[in-house]
Every structure is written in structure tokens, then in C-alpha cells.
Amino acid sequence: MKRASPDRQLLPELQLLQLLQLLQPSCRFPSTHLKMPEGLDLEVSHHPLTMKCVANLVIAMQRLKGHGPESVLSTGFRDEHLLSIMLESLVEEQEVFERSSAPPPHFSRTGRLHCSLTDGQKRSLVLVQSSMELHAMLLQGGSSSRRVHLNMSTYVRPVAGAEARPVALCIKDTNLYLSCHKDGEEPALHLEVVKDKASLQRIGAESEQLRFLFYRRDSGVNLSTLASARFPGWYISTAPQDNRPLLLSQEGSDCELTFIM
């Protein structure tokens, strides 16, 4: 849309009306609605491809009806004024994108504690190097130096409100972590080497790294249970016999499920 120029081939208003009706036969635009102010002519440089383009054109023409011949022919009416009128007439199109699903929740590490585990029979954990297992043993006299000390990393649960706290257990000054794997029909407890401890800073609730997490639930002064996060209902426990490996068992078994920390 521009001021009339004798050197340019212009599209007559009647042809524009026919074009609008061709693009949208159900719409009827009276020719009087398309009348341009004196001093302005309408030129369509390319065929409008959508009704949005046609709508912008019609709205712009309607806005120009508010400007009389005197205003558009005056020396103060410049091309930028015409451009401003056109831009105000644009029909905005906005797309809204919604996430199909929320990102999976994570456990986030918040701190670290130092501790040792002693079961109800006063047995401590000892590392057996030959088998790379933790055994529960009754230590006497000078053998207390064999007791294993643990680094307990604490985590924030994805869903707040539960009493049990997620933790990961690592033998102090090593990269050996307690983890849960399924051996046959039942889960079992293992010592697993973690080369990159930073990889456990955030643990996905549905990831394989969930095997390193346990839910610590305190039931008294320094009394706690440690339940597997990957295998609900299975607890870190000690066998009734002395010098046996630390294992996973369920409530109701003859194993010790409660530890002094």
C-alpha cells in the first residue's frame, strides 16, 4: 500500500474484491469497505497465500479510512507514517508449546557424615580383602582397629515429606560403595568401585545408579535401618552367625536389621 504513482501498474479495487472472495468465498466484502482514501492506491505485489494476509490487508484499509485525503496528501504525511499504520494492523500469530511430560525426578546430594555400623550383637564391620566383602565380626581387645568406617552421603528426596532419608555408603578413604544387585531371584549386597564419585552428585529416581541409595530410618537414639531404594522391602542386615558377609534380607527373617550408628 503506497501513494499513487503513474509509473506503477496498480491493482484496481474491483480485482482486489474478487481476489478476497476467491480466497474465502464465504466472506462478502462490500466494495465501499475497500475504498481507498484519495491520494492512495493499493498495489498487491504477490498473491496472498493465507487468509491471515488478506485479513492484514483489509484491517490496514479500514484504518486508513480514518485518515482523510488532506492528511495523506499533506507534506507532513511521510512513508514512515504509512508504515506505522500498516504495522499496527498486523494480525499477530502466537504458538504455545507445552511439555509433554516433566523431567524425571532426581536425588540431590546435600552433605556427608562419618559413621560406623554395629549390629544388635555388638558386631562391627570388617573388610575382607580376599573376597572384597564386609563381614560382621565381634572385635575384642586390640582388633578394634580393623573396624570399617564409612562415609555416609545424604540426599534430598524428589518428593518431600517422607521420614526416611536417602543415603549412600562408601568405605572411608576408598572408592568402594555398597550397592544392590539382583542375583538370581533375590537382590544381593555388593561392594562396587565408583571411579567418578561426582557422578553420584545427582541420582535419577529411575536410573541404574539407584542401586547405590538406601533409605535410612531412625527408630531410636542412634538406632537405624537401611532399606534398599532399588529393591523396596530389603534391608542391609547381618547373619545370626559371626564372621558372615553383610547381606540383604526382609523383615521377619532371623537376621539383624537394626544398626547402631
Indicate whether 8 pLDDT > 70: no
Query: Residue 29 has what pLDDT?
Result: 46
Query: Residue 49 has what pLDDT?
Result: 54
Query: Residue 184 has what pLDDT?
Result: 86
Within the chain, strands assigned E span 2-3, 40-41, 106-115, 118-119, 124-128, 133-137, 150-156, 165-171, 176-183, 186-193, 202-204, 214-220, 223-228, 235-237, 244-245, 247-249, 259-260
pLDDT tens sequence across 111-156: 999 999 999 999 999 999 999 999 999 998 878 889 999 999 999 9
Indicate whether 217 pLDDT > 70: yes
Three cell numbers written together for 80: 514512515
Mean pLDDT, range 31-51, rounded to an integer: 58
pLDDT tens sequence across 60-117: 666 666 555 555 555 566 666 666 665 665 555 555 555 556 666 899 999 999 999 9
Q: Which has more pLDDT, 184 or 81?
A: 184
- Measured CA to CA, the distance from residue 236 to residue 150 in angstroms comes to 14
Per DSSP, 23 falls in state: H
Q: How many residues does the chain have?
A: 261
- Measured CA to CA, the distance from residue 240 to residue 212 in angstroms comes to 25
Indicate whether 158 pLDDT > 60: yes
Does residue 167 come out as left (phi exceeding 0), alpha (psi in the -120 to 50 range) or beta? Answer: beta
The CATH class of the 106-260 domain is mainly beta
Mean pLDDT, range 49-59, rounded to an integer: 65
How many C-alpha atoms does 48 have within 13 Å on its Cβ side? 20
Indicate whether 181 pLDDT > 70: yes
The chain-wide mean pLDDT, for the chain, equals 79
Cα-Cα end-to-end distance for the chain: 83
Query: Residue 224 has what pLDDT?
Result: 96
Per DSSP, 107 falls in state: E
CA proximity to 240, closest of 119, 76, 143, 93:
119
Kindly report the CA angle at 180 between 122 and 200, in degrees rounded to 5?
A: 100
Whole-model pTM: value is 0.61
Q: Which has more pLDDT, 34 or 220?
A: 220
Query: Residue 178 has what pLDDT?
Result: 99
Indicate whether 24 pLDDT > 90: no
- Measured CA to CA, the distance from residue 102 to residue 187 in angstroms comes to 30
Backbone angles phi, psi at 75, to 5 degrees: -65, -20
Domain ranges of the chain: 9-88, 106-260
Mean pLDDT, range 169-179, rounded to an integer: 98
